[in-house]
Amino acid sequence: MITFEHLCQHYLSDNEGRLKPTTQYTSKNIIQNWLLPVFSDMPINQITPLMIRKWQTELMQHSNLAPTYQRSINTKLSALFNYAVKYYNLPENPVRKAGTIGSSRSPHLSFWTLDEFKTFLSGLTDEEDVSFRVAFTTLFFTGLRLGELLALTPADCDFQAHTLRINKNYVQVTGAKIIQTPKTSKSNRTISIPLFLCKVLQTHINRLYSPDQRIFFNLNKSSLTRKLKATARETSVKVIRLHDLRHSHASLLIEMGFSPLVIADRLGHEKITTTLQIYSHLYPNKQAEVAEKLDTVDFNF
C-alpha cells in the first residue's frame, strides 16, 4: 500500500488542470504545512481513526488557526482518503470515523453600517486616494467579491441599463496574474447598481489610460487591505477585512427589507441556504408580528 506522501503526490498531479489554480494552490499549502509533517511516511492503510483524532486535537490547540481553517484542513485530509478509497482500494476513509472539527463559517460577522462607511470614506479625500475611494464604494454598494471587482472592465458596465456584468475573477497565484471563471455558476450574474454608482464608475473609467484595461488595474488585495486598515484607524472606524465589505452590503440590504432570495441572487450564492446560514441572525424576529397578523383573521372557534 502506498505511503501518504505518495498519495498526496498522485492526488495533486491528477488534479492539475482539473482544478482552478487558486484551488490547487490552497491544496498544496494545506498538504505541505499541515498534513505531510504528520502522516508523510505512513502507509495509508495504517492511518487509523484514533491517529486522526489525536491529530485533530493537536490542530484544535493552535490558537492562531481559525475554526473555519481547521475545518478546511480536516476536509482536505478527508478528500485525500476519499481519493484513496476510489483509486487505491483503501477499504474506508478513516476521517469519517474520526469526525469533523472547526466550523463551516466564522462565528463572528463583521461589517460596517452605512454611517460607518461614510465616516471611513471621509478619510479618503486626497487625489491619490481616488482609485481606492471608487473601489471601496463599489464593494460596499454591490457586495462583489474582491476578485470579481478586480476583474471588472469598462465593457462590463452598462450605464444605460444601470448594471454590472460579473463573469470573471482576478487572482494572483505565486506572482502570476490570472483571469479565471467565477467561483460558481451562480457567481456568473448581472446586477443592478444605483445611479450614483454609475456616475462614480463612469467618471473613473474616463480617467483610464486605455478603455481595454481592467478598471482597477492599479490596485490589488495588499494595497486595498493596507489602505482600508490605515484609513479605518485614522477615522476611528472599527477595522474590518476587505471581504467584510461584502457582508456590509448584505447587512444594508437586510436593513432595507430585502428577502434572502434577492440577496442570494445579488451576491452570487450557489444556494439560498448559504445566505441564510451567514445572515439569518441579522433578520429581525418577526414572530410577534406573525401573531398580530393572525389575530386579524376572521375566525371563531
**Mean local confidence (pLDDT), 197-212:** 90
**Mean local confidence (pLDDT), 229-233:** 97
Which are the contacts of 175, defined by CB distance < 8 A and separation ≥ 6?
none
pLDDT digits (tens, 9 = 90+) for 67-90: 889 999 999 999 999 999 999 999
Nearest to 251 by CA among 237, 263, 243: 263
Distances (CA, A) of 42 to 39, 54, 188, 220: 6, 15, 43, 41
Q: In this model, does residue 248 exceed pLDDT 90?
A: yes
Distance (Å, whole) CA 157 – CA 120: 26
Residue 220 is classified by DSSP as: -
More confident residue, 149 or 276: 149
Q: In this model, does residue 66 exceed pLDDT 90?
A: no
The whole-number pLDDT of residue 185 equals 83
Give me the architecture of the 114-282 domain, per CATH.
Orthogonal Bundle (1.10)
Other C-beta atoms lying within 10 Å of the C-beta of residue 177: 12
Do domains 4-98 and 114-282 share one topology? The answer is no
Q: In this model, does residue 208 exceed pLDDT 90?
A: no
Other C-beta atoms lying within 10 Å of the C-beta of residue 13: 9
Q: In this model, does residue 111 exceed pLDDT 80?
A: yes
The whole-number pLDDT of residue 297 equals 84
Domain range summary for the chain, segments of one domain joined by +:
4-98, 114-282
Which are the contacts of 204, defined by CB distance < 8 A and separation ≥ 6?
130, 131, 134, 215
Share of the chain above pLDDT 70, in %: 97
pTM score of the predicted model: 0.80
Task: Find the helix or strand (DSSP H, E) in which 169 lies.
Answer: strand 169-173
**pLDDT confidence tier of residue 210, bands split at 50, 70 and 90:** confident
> What CATH number labels 4-98?
1.10.150.130
